[in-house]
Every structure is written in C-alpha cells, then in structure tokens.
A = this chain, B = another copy of it.
Amino acid sequence: MADVITYREAVAEGIAREMRRDAAVVCLGEDIGAAGGVFKTTAGLIEEFGPERVWDTPISEQAIVGAAMGAAMTGMRPVAEIMFSDFLACCWDYLANEIPKVRYMTGGQVTVPLVVRTANGGGLGFGAQHSQATENWALTVPGLKIAAPATPADVVGMMAAAIRSDDPVVFFEHKGLLAAKGAPAPPDHVVELGRAAVVHEGADVTLVALAAMVPLALRAAALLAEEGVEAEVVDLRCLVPLDMRTVLASLARTSRLVTVEENPYQGGWGATVVSVVADEGFGLLDAPVRRVAGECVPLPFADALEERVIPTVDKVVAAVRDLTAY
C-alpha cells in the first residue's frame, strides 16, 4: 500500500472497492470510461470492470440520474457522475422531486440505493458556472443524504458507506482537494454517514467546516494558536445526517461558534447549523455566532476576484479574533 494517496485516486479506489465487493454496483456518466473522467476520478475502472459496469453516457444529465434511479429501484446500486456540481441544476427534478420522494410517496414500496457523485467547489478560476459549492442546494430537499469528504481516507470510507446505503446519497468531491494527499484508507474502511469528526481540539472556539473548508479551518487554527487562541475544528463530513450532537458537544466546551462554508451566506448550510444552535445551544453561547461563507455573488473568474468572495484563512482568522474579543 502506498504511503499516501491523492484525494483523486481515493475516489476511484473507493468506487473500485465497492465494485469488487458487489456486482450490483455500476457506474454511469459522461467521459467516465476510457477517458477515466475529466477529473480522472474514475481512472482504471473500465479497465478493471469492463464496459458492462462502467457506462459512458451522452450529455444528458436528466437521463443519467433518471436512469440511475430506475436502475436503483430494480436491484442495482448505480453510481452516477455529474461532472460539475453546477450541472446538478440540469437534473434538479430528479434530485429535488423524484429520488428523495419516491420512497415516501409510495408508502415505502420503492427504495433507491444510488449515489450521485459530483465535483464541487471553487478556487480554481473556473468562473460562475463551474465553481459553485452547491451542497446547500441539496440541503433544501429532505430525503437526500449529503456527503462531502475532506481527506482521501474519508473519501474511501464514505464512498463505501454511500454505495452500501439503501438511501440516495449525493457525494460531493471537492475540486480543490483532488490533488491533496493523505493517508490511504485501511482495507474495508467504512465511515458511517452522519458522524462528524473533531479534527483539531481547542477550548476557545469551535470552527465547523466541510470538505475544502476543513484544511482551511485547520490552517486558520494553526495561525490562531500562535496568538494563543485554541480553535477546535469540526469536520462535519455530511450535511445529512447532520451531526449536531458533535457540534453541540464541542460548543459546550468552547462557547463560541464560527461556521466555515464555501457556499454563499444566503441559504448556506451554516445557517441551519446556527439555527439549531441558537435554539438548543443558546445557553452554551458566550458570544455571537459568526458565519464565514461565500459572498452572495456569482463566482468571478479572476483569482483576485474569486479570492475576494470565497472564504480564506485570513477571513476565518479575522472572524475568530473578532469573536474572542467579544
């Protein structure tokens, strides 16, 4: 086993492990076969599993996700790729109205064990239509599980849990992390969906982050430590199930909360976290809650502009400084 693997390799590895384990797992998406995916996150799959398990599709997001749904109802465990998470909008009916509702509206008759994987997030200068962090879109719809790993090992472990889940899972792979390296996942690694992780301990403030915001929060924590501020960093890992228990437990230690979100402030997931805290954790709070989130604008192309509108280490540090001064 390699010493480290990339997040990108972990995606393919995570899928491959499940395909080896379960013949019902099949993949479909644009350019995922011979091309190995435009992000190379399906590299090697067609070579190992052949074209009967790895299917190239037309540019037809509705057909991709709709077909995955039909297959999931009838005994398969499809893993559908939507190339960029922005394009979830092109098949939103399936994510919003069909997949999360069919079990409920049939009184439990139909189950859809599928995974929709997608490359999420910005910071790479891809502009307004290829850079969004859209995990908050999925959060508006009850009935979807939402996974967004931050490390290669979590990618593998959460992919296993997602594919084995009998519920539909939207799996956000962060474009900004694809080249990031980390420890490989041990054999049979499964990370249960809905378990947040305290990835850095600290007594002064809780930073709640997701995906690419986790390493960013960790860098902020390191800087803050130099100033004597001990930040605890919680990697949520999933938005649904949302592990509020871990967040509230951390808050009980720190009494201060900052969410670090890439999605825009308006309608962002941090708002839901904060609203639970403002209700159930009100008595724990010693200071206002702050959200470091994307600005409420489309994402601009130029680095200098993009940097201005997405969270940065500096913005997180500044928000924490502000709060600890409260």
Contact = CB atoms under 8 A, between A and B. Distances in A.
Contacts of A280: 288
Given A137-B137, A275-B289, A279-B291, A142 B92 contact: no
A251 to B, nearest CB: 12
A260 to B, nearest CB: 13
A143 B297 CA distance: 7
A298 B104 contact: yes
Interface stretch (A32-40, A165-173, A261-269): A261-269
What's the interface size class on A, roughly? 35 or more
A279 B275 contact: no
A97 interface: yes
A319 B285 CA distance: 21
A225 interface: no
Contacts of A297: 104, 142-143
Contacts of A87: 93
A196 to B, nearest CB: 16
Best-surrounded residue of A129, A242, A266, A280 (most CB of chain B within 10 A) = A266
Interface in A92-125: 92-93, 95-97, 100-101, 104-105
Best-surrounded residue of A275, A290, A300 (most CB of chain B within 10 A) = A275
A272 to B, nearest CB: 4
Interface of A: 86-87, 89-90, 92-93, 95-97, 100-101, 104-105, 127-129, 134, 136-137, 139-143, 240, 242, 263-272, 274-275, 277-280, 282-283, 285, 287-291, 295-298, 300-301
Given A105-B127, A270-B275, 20 more contacts: A86-B96, A89-B92, A92-B92, A92-B93, A96-B137, A97-B128, A104-B300, A137-B137, A141-B267, A142-B298, A240-B266, A242-B266, A265-B272, A267-B267, A267-B269, A267-B272, A268-B272, A278-B289, A279-B289, A282-B285
